[in-house]
């Protein structure tokens, strides 16, 4: 998480402005305290009392995520074995805010990124079971990759130029030739039939919550869409160590081509995050380095 402005034309609201917005739009919740909680790439978050969270999009394109979640989360959440966010109130654009926004029910838990004793075997099984159930849901009318989900699950070839540029900017202790081989293999594995279905699209350590050492919830569904299932193999490199990764991949059962594309998705996400955020976001930097350390052996710079 981070708080500085990263984008042009960013929309910012103070706690007082959010308090006024709630009083006008959701008067039944107007008595609750509002306080800034965190800022991510796309939304600024505010706690509303103890049981709610307000998400205010930082930019117009980020509002597309909230509009999508308001349409699909209730339908999908009732089918999944792990908790996902639920909408308590859908906020429409008004004089206070030019974009869609929403109040969510608060989900209790600790991010995987802050969990030091994760039970990887149980968590790998639980997460895989949830993702397989998500993949099994009817995709009729579901949103294909686009601006609303940072094009997660779309054709990897669309990311070729940006990914190669990001690889060239990796710190010297990372094996760039190996990175290019992984990427080339992922592109080659994209030439055949690609299985598509519902994906979370952004399964990084900050978007998975734990209780009692086990993953219990998936949050931040901005990457939700109907796309390449290989995109959701990301936890094999972003979340789990070697044993947990092996167990997760065995449960997910990817084909060889899907595994290659999964590694490609992990590489493009991590290298792109490191190039874009640098050291401006400790959480994003740590996520990117964890993935790259899993994919690329480190060596000493000459």
Residue-wise pLDDT for 280-292, tens only, equals 778 899 999 999 9
The CATH number assigned to the domain holding 32 equals 3.30.200.20
* Residue 286 pLDDT: 93
Q: Helices then strands (H, E): number in the chain?
A: 9, 10
Indicate the number of domains in the chain.
2
pLDDT at 95 over 80: no
- Computed from CA positions of residues 159, 227, 296, 284, in that sequence, does the dihedral angle turn out positive or negative? positive
Query: Phi and psi of 111, rounded to 5°?
Result: -55, 145
Tens of pLDDT along 130-186? 999 999 999 999 999 999 999 999 999 999 999 999 999 999 999 999 999 999 999
Could you tell me if 244 and 291 lie in one domain? yes
Domain span at 278: 110-295
Q: What is the mean pLDDT of the chain?
A: 93
Give the residue from 87, 105, 123 where a domain finishes: 105
Give the residue from 105, 131, 151 where a domain finishes: 105
pLDDT at 8 over 70: no
Could you tell me if 270 and 137 lie in one domain? yes
Instruction: Output the six-digit token pair for 125.
Output: 């099984």
Q: Distance of alpha carbon 275 from its chain centroid, rounded?
A: 17
Distance of alpha carbon 193 from alpha carbon 173, whole angstroms: 36
Distance of alpha carbon 240 from alpha carbon 57, whole angstroms: 30
The CATH number assigned to the domain holding 191 equals 3.90.1200.10
pLDDT at 298 over 90: no
Instruction: Output the six-digit token pair for 208.
Output: 């998975």
Residue 96 lies in a domain: yes
Could you tell me if 143 and 263 lie in one domain? yes
Could you tell me if 131 and 258 lie in one domain? yes
Binned at pLDDT 50, 70 and 90, residue 301 comes out as very low
Could you tell me if 117 and 228 lie in one domain? yes
Q: What's the CA angle centered on 242, arms 240 and 245, to 5 degrees?
A: 50
Tens of pLDDT along 24-81? 999 999 999 999 998 888 999 999 999 999 999 998 889 999 999 999 999 999 999 9
* Residue 7 pLDDT: 53
Tens of pLDDT along 249-278? 999 999 999 999 999 999 999 999 999 887
Tens of pLDDT along 9-19? 677 788 999 99
3-state helix, strand, coil in the chain (%, to 5): 45, 15, 35
Binned at pLDDT 50, 70 and 90, residue 96 comes out as confident
List the one residue out of 299, 293, 187, 169 whose CA is nearest residue 239: 293
Could you tell me if 277 and 244 lie in one domain? yes
Residue 86 lies in a domain: yes
Residue 5 lies in a domain: no
Binned at pLDDT 50, 70 and 90, residue 126 comes out as very high
E strand or H helix that includes residue 146: none
Q: How many residues does the chain have?
A: 302
Percent of the chain with pLDDT over 70: 95
* Residue 94 pLDDT: 85
Residue 144 lies in a domain: yes
Could you tell me if 177 and 31 lie in one domain? no
């Amino acid at each position: 998480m981070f708080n500085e402005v990263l984008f042009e034309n960013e929309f910012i609201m103070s706690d007082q402005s959010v308090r006024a917005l709630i009083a006008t739009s959701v008067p039944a919740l107007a008595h609750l305290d509002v306080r800034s909680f965190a800022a991510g790439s796309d939304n600024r978050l505010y706690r509303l009392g103890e049981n709610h969270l307000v998400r205010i999009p930082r930019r117009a394109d980020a509002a597309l995520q909230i509009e999508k979640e308001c349409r699909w989360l209730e339908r999908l959440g009732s089918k999944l074995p792990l908790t996902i966010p639920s909408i308590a109130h859908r906020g429409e654009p008004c004089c206070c805010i030019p974009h869609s926004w929403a109040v969510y029910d608060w989900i209790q838990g600790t991010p995987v990124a802050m969990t030091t004793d994760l039970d990887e075997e149980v968590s790998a099984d639980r997460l895989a079971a949830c993702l397989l159930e998500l993949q099994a849901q009817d995709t009729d009318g579901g949103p294909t990759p686009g601006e609303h989900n940072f094009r997660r699950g779309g054709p990897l070839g669309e990311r070729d130029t940006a990914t190669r540029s990001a690889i060239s900017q990796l710190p010297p202790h990372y094996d760039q030739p190996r990175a290019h081989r992984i990427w080339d293999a992922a592109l080659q594995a994209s030439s055949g039939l690609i299985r598509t279905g519902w994906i979370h699209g952004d399964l990084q350590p900050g978007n998975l919550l734990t209780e009692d050492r086990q993953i219990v919830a998936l949050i931040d569904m901005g990457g939700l869409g109907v796309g390449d299932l290989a995109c959701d193999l990301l936890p094999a490199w972003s979340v789990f160590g070697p044993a947990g990764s092996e167990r997760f991949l065995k449960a997910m059962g990817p084909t060889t081509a899907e595994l290659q594309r999964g590694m490609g998705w992990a590489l493009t996400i991590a290298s792109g995050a490191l190039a874009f955020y640098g050291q401006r976001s400790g959480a994003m930097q740590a996520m990117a380095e964890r993935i790259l350390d899993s994919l690329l052996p480190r060596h000493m710079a000459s």
